[in-house]
Structures are given as C-alpha cells and as structure tokens.
Structure 1
Amino acid sequence: MKLKGILFSIFMFLYSSPIGVLAHGTEEEHQQEVASNTFATNGLLVSAAILVTGIISIFVMNRRMKTLNVKKQKEKGKRDSLQKGVKIGQWVSIVSLVGVISFGIFSFINTKAKDIENSVELMHVHGLGITNDGEEIYVPAHDGLKVFEAGEWRSAKGDKHDYMGFSMVDDGFYSSGHPEPGSSMKNPFGVVKSNDMGENLEILDLYGEIDFHGMSVGYNSHTIYVFNPQANSRMDDVGLHYSMDDTKTWVKAELKGISGKLSAIAAHPTEEKTVALGTTEGVFVSHDGGQTVNQISNLPVSGLSFSRQGDLFAGFASDKMAISKINLETKEQTAYEIPSLGEGNAINYIAVNPNDENNIVFATGQKDLYLTINNGEEWEKIADKGTGIASQSLTGEGEHEHEHEHEDNGE
C-alpha cells in the first residue's frame, strides 16, 4: 500500500543518508563537528516526525476498521489491509522511538563533550600571557598550555610540558620547567623559548641543570631576568641574574636597597635594564639591571606585570587582595575594584593585552581567573578553582552576569 512505501522510504532515507557524514575522511575538525551536530539535530527531528506520523496513522486506521462491516467480503479485505498497515505503523513507530532516544543521547553526549573541551582543567597555574595580536590568553597549567580565545578554552598544540617561569613575548614565549612524562627531553629545561607557541622548543641554556620558577622576559626587549635558586655551571651564586643576549652571557644583580622575601619579578617591555621586584615588604624598581633598587610601595606583593605601554601592574596581598597600576615616572597608583577573592587567595599572575591596556586578566593562588575588557569596570570569571569557564559575552551566545563586586572583607 502507499502508506507502507512512504513510511519505509522516509525510514531508509533517515538511517542511511547520514552514514557518509560520519565517515572518517580528510575534512577539517570544525567541519566534522558541524556535520556531527547537524546529523544529531536532523536525526532527532526526523525521528520525532516519523514517530508522530506513525502514531497518528495507527489511530486513523484503527478508527477506520471500527467502521467496517466484516460480514461483507469487500470490507473484510479492507480490514485485513488496514491490519497490515497498523502492524507496519507499529514497527515504524518503535524504530523511530529508538531513533528519538538514540539521537537524543548522541546530541547530549556531543553537548557534554563540547562543554568539557571548552572547560579545561588547570592543574596548576604557572603564569599568564597574552599574544601579540591580543587575541589569545595562554596559561601554563602543569600538563601543557591552555588557551582562552574568543570566549572559549582549549589545549594548545604541542607537547604537554610543565612550564615554569612562563613569560610571553612579542613573538612567542620563554620558559623554564619540566618535560611531560615520556618525553625524550632532559629534565629540567633550564631556559627554552618558542616562536610557535610550544609546537617546537629552542634550548637556550642550563638544559638539564636548573628550573627557574622566578623568571620574567621583556616583551619586546627579550631581556631575561631569573632568580637563581642554586649555583650552576653558568652562575656561581644564588640571586637575581639577567641576560640581554639570549643567555650567551649572564650578569648577577646586587639588589642594593631591597628588603623582604622575593615574591615576583617583572621585566620592562622595552627598557633592558628596568626590572620590578615584588617582596613581602613592597614593590622595588631598578633601572640598572637590579644593581640598585628604589622602593615605590610598601604593601606585600604577590604578583607583578608590565603592560606594553610600560605601566606596572601589582597584585597586593595584605588585609585584602588588590590590584593597582603604577606609573613609574610619577609613582602615581591607580587602584582597581576587583571581585572579593576570599582569604588567602592572592593574585599571583597578571597579564595585560599588548594592544589594549583596558583588557586585563589575573590568576589567583586558588586557580581562579578573572578578565576585564573595560579597565576593571566589570570582571568576568573565566576559571573557577582551575575549571575553565566559557565566556558567553565573548562567544556571543547570550547574556551573562559579570562579576562586579567591590572589595569587601566581610565576604
């Protein structure tokens, strides 16, 4: 009968045509994701449509059979035909119901997989950096680099090394740290750099000898400052050292005038011998490569970073956590209102967009990350205790609630 042909034609179209979409081939990953999502959505809709059509058909045919007089041979034949149609409708309805359930589960798994992909886990946070075009935030997170771009998280290409002392520069990054498990590279790294965001590493110095946790590199000057924790083949003593020629030579800084325990280092983006140091007793700045320093703040420092324009951003940890921008020429400080971070959740790392000083991101000791694109008027949380959070405002997927909290010790 016609109904049987129509139902089976739709059925065969639904369950055979999408197979080619899921086949492995040379399509780009994005195209595969779009095809997969389209397949799941269309399959769910078509299965649901067939299920509704089947149920309606069964109902109509049952109503029709009740009107027939089975004592008449002609109408008895119609009843037999309708009974066959009901059986076909029942089978099609059962199969389409299975399709609705299957495609529903498939769609749910796709959504969850995307959520997991866009919500990376930051096992540790060992630095922050923003690329030269201002589009990507990089976070070294023990198991490789994590990237926040256009409101979404992903893992960077390249090996999953444990980068320490991570410092973004205009054409890539410098770092120290340790190789990932199973890597053929020596442990620790000493000083390495990359011009392709970690896909390849260039070994510079002290390879297999030392891991620098305290390290900062000038964004444009590429002057390297490290705090050496122990004597090694290139440095006879502990303390601050710098190199202006990609580690060919090192100079030890005397740090005359500094006090407190060192907690942060920030190399000026363009002035090779200008470096800021944070200690438990304040912010100190040197213009002679760390030989002498001058104190410009007396609050305990947890994190430091220069903007590309040369302003110094400091994270303070005293009675409450705070961020201030310091003009090195005038010593003027501009305090930012930030979300309440909780006791002991100090600001360890700060990064400023090279192209827009209104765009700031900071990371805390408890692996919370906050982002502002309007100079601190509003802050959005993009990682909560190490779990990445997609930004609805930057992806354009809808409205979201900004973190717009004033500092409040009572919270």
Structure 2
Amino acid sequence: MKKPDREKRTKQTKRANGLKWLVITALLAGVIIGGISLLNKGASAIKLKHIHGLGYSPDGAKLIVPAHDGIRIYDNGSWSVPPGDQNDYMGFSAVDDGFYSSGHPGQGSSLSNPLGIIKSNDTGKTISVLALEEESDFHGMSVGYKTHIIYAFNAAPNSKMSSPGLFYSKDEGQTWAKSESFGVEGEPAALAVHPEKENVIALGTQTGVFLSDDYGQRFEKIVPDLQVTALYFNLQGNLLVGGYVQSPVLQLVDTKSKAISTFPIPELDDDAIAYIAQNPVMPNEFTFATAQRDIYITRDDGVSWLKIANQGKALDGQ
C-alpha cells in the first residue's frame, strides 16, 4: 500500500473508532441527544440539547420529541410545546394509546425523583406513575407498540429486580423476569421490541444486530459487522437499523428472511443516527434524529428528506 493511502486509511479508522465510542458511550448514558429549551414562540426559539427519543401520536398527526425539559411537538410543519410538566423523559417509547417513559421530574413537578416507569395518554399533559418511583431511572427501555410489554436495562438492584441486567414486565412494571441474553456480543447500545409479538426483541452492539424470539433468553446475530447506533421495529415487524460502517447508514432488515436493504439518507458528516420513528398511520413516513442534533423526516420511504432540526435548532417545514 502506498504511504498516502495508508495514512488516509489510518485517519479514517481513527475517525470511525472515535465516533464509535462517542456514540456508544452516549447511548448507554442516555444522553446522546437531549432536551429542548423554549426561549420564546416560534421554531427559531426552540433549541435541541438532549433529545431522548422519538415517536408519533397514535393518530399520526404529531411527531413527539421527548427531551430533558419536557415534550416538544412537530405538527404540520411547526414546532410547539404541549401542556404538562417539563419532565426529563428517558427511555421513551410511543405506543398505540400514548407513551411510556422513565426519567426525572421537571421543575415544579409533584412527581417523585426518579420517575421510575410512567405512562401518558395525552402527550404528557397528565402522567400515571406505574412502578419503581424514587428507585430507578431507565435510560435503556423499550415497549411493544401494541402489546405494551416493557423491556428495560436495569443498572442496579431495586425492589423488583434483584440484579443488574435486561428484564421484562408484562403487567406495567408490577412484576419482572430476567432475560439472560445468551449469544449477545459486545455492549448493548440500542434496544427495540416487536410491535405485536411480546417475545421478540432486538439488541444492537458495536458488532451487529441480535434478535431473540424467547423474551431475550437467547439471541441470534442477524446483521454482522455493523456498529449499531439505533434500532426500531416498524409496524410490519421488520427492523430499521441505524449504524456506522465508515459512514452512517440506515438499513431495513426483514426479520423472517434476514434480507437487508439500505435507505438513501442525507450526508451526515461526523454524525450517526440515534433514534428512529415511523408514522403509525402513514407507513411511508418516518423520522430519524442524529447525535449532532439534526432531525430528518421522509414521507416517501427515504426517496427525499426534509430537515426539521439543524444542529439543535428547530426548523419550520412542510
């Protein structure tokens, strides 16, 4: 290999490795992209700092952005702030009748700290506390869209989980069972639950995508040689995978045939996909957010993209 080529390849490798550990560390800490602070009215006043997920309202009309200081909404080309406490939402999952989350209460909230596991059916206006309040804050959590089964990475023992690890609950957090996670290689950086099959779960690590059909007891690697940064089950039961191979990629994985296809995405310079969401009413529409706080939306399965946030600044669109 010629010296210039070798030097170029070395620089690319260092850049990829640097981004890998930046993304994985931030994902595991639950702070890859974060909250939104509202300074005054209008999209130009909304700054995205610590986004903790993405989701759509059940009617598909609103994109929900859970954040460090409350929920923010993108609806018909405009950003807004819904009523309700400005809580720090972590482990956010949109479902067919609202959302589940964890995190910490916002300023002036009467909720316990940490929140444990909570649910809202009205975009955060009112909150139902389900379990583990004042005990646990789950950064890594995912909930089945229709089944409402909860999977969560537990960091330390609590009153319902005797050890750290991956656990699941079929009764809104009242009782839990441990997922042994045999077959997983590397540290989990992303978690997703099938929308209709409560026993099917996927994990992403720096080595690829792993799929389980027995509540996370055993996993099979279905996507090798991919540094995974985001996972999402679409409503058809297939996986949308954000990853990194020399550059950011967005893949669709058929969970039955294991066939992999790739979506064209905008160029992401020194960036990676962090969260993905699909519109439950218009399946050709989905959105992703990046580590550098950009948000893109497509309504034609990735043929074209609209940027609705740029490096943390919310943008009006159509």
TM norm structure 1: 0.66
Cross-structure match for 1:198: 124
What do residues 131-189 of structure 1 show as CA deviations (whole Å, max 9, x unaligned)?
A: 12111100012110010000111112211101000100000000000001232221111
Identity of aligned residues (%): 46
Partner Cα separation in structure 2 for residue 316 and residue 388 of structure 1? 24
Amino acid of the residue matched to residue 142 of structure 2?
Answer: S
Give the secondary-structure state (helix, strand or coil) at the position aligned to 2:189: strand
Conservation of the 8 A alpha-carbon contact between 2:43 and 2:315:
no
Instruction: Describe how 1:4-23 pairs up with structure 2 within 5 A.
Output: none
Aligned: 1:169 with 2:100: no
Aligned: 1:218 with 2:148: no
- How far 1:119 moved relative to its partner? 5.0
Amino acid of the residue matched to residue 161 of structure 2?
Answer: M
Partner Cα separation in structure 2 for residue 250 and residue 156 of structure 1? 33
Instruction: Describe how 1:5-404 pairs up with structure 2 within 5 A.
Output: 116-117=42-43, 119-298=45-224, 299-343=226-270, 345-391=271-317, 394=318
Which structure has greater strand proportion?
2
Partner Cα separation in structure 2 for residue 275 and residue 293 of structure 1? 9
Which structure has greater helix proportion?
1
Amino acid of the residue matched to residue 180 of structure 1?
Answer: G
Change (3 A) 1:113 1:223: closer
Amino acid of the residue matched to residue 285 of structure 2?
Answer: N
Conservation of the 8 A alpha-carbon contact between 1:130 and 1:136:
yes
- How far 1:118 moved relative to its partner? 6.2
Partner Cα separation in structure 2 for residue 113 and residue 188 of structure 1? 29
Change (3 A) 1:360 1:249: same
Partner Cα separation in structure 1 for residue 205 and residue 297 of structure 2? 25
Give the secondary-structure state (helix, strand or coil) at the position aligned to 1:302: strand
Partner Cα separation in structure 2 for residue 128 and residue 122 of structure 1? 13
- CA RMSD, 1 decimal: 1.4
What do residues 272-314 of structure 1 show as CA deviations (whole Å, max 9, x unaligned)?
A: 1100111111100100000000000121100001111211100
Conservation of the 8 A alpha-carbon contact between 2:43 and 2:316:
no
Amino acid of the residue matched to residue 236 of structure 2?
Answer: Q
Amino acid of the residue matched to residue 132 of structure 2?
Answer: L
Listed as ranges, the gaps of 5+ residues in structure 2 are 1-38
- How far 1:357 moved relative to its partner? 2.4
Cross-structure match for 1:101: none
Change (3 A) 1:143 1:156: same
TM norm structure 2: 0.85
Cross-structure match for 1:66: none
The number of residue pairs the alignment matches comes to 279
> Which structure's relative contact order is higher, taking Cα pairs within 8 Å and 6+ residues apart?
2
Give the secondary-structure state (helix, strand or coil) at the position aligned to 1:270: coil
Give the secondary-structure state (helix, strand or coil) at the position aligned to 1:209: coil
Partner Cα separation in structure 2 for residue 161 and residue 284 of structure 1? 32
* Segments ≥4 residues shifted beyond 6 Å: none
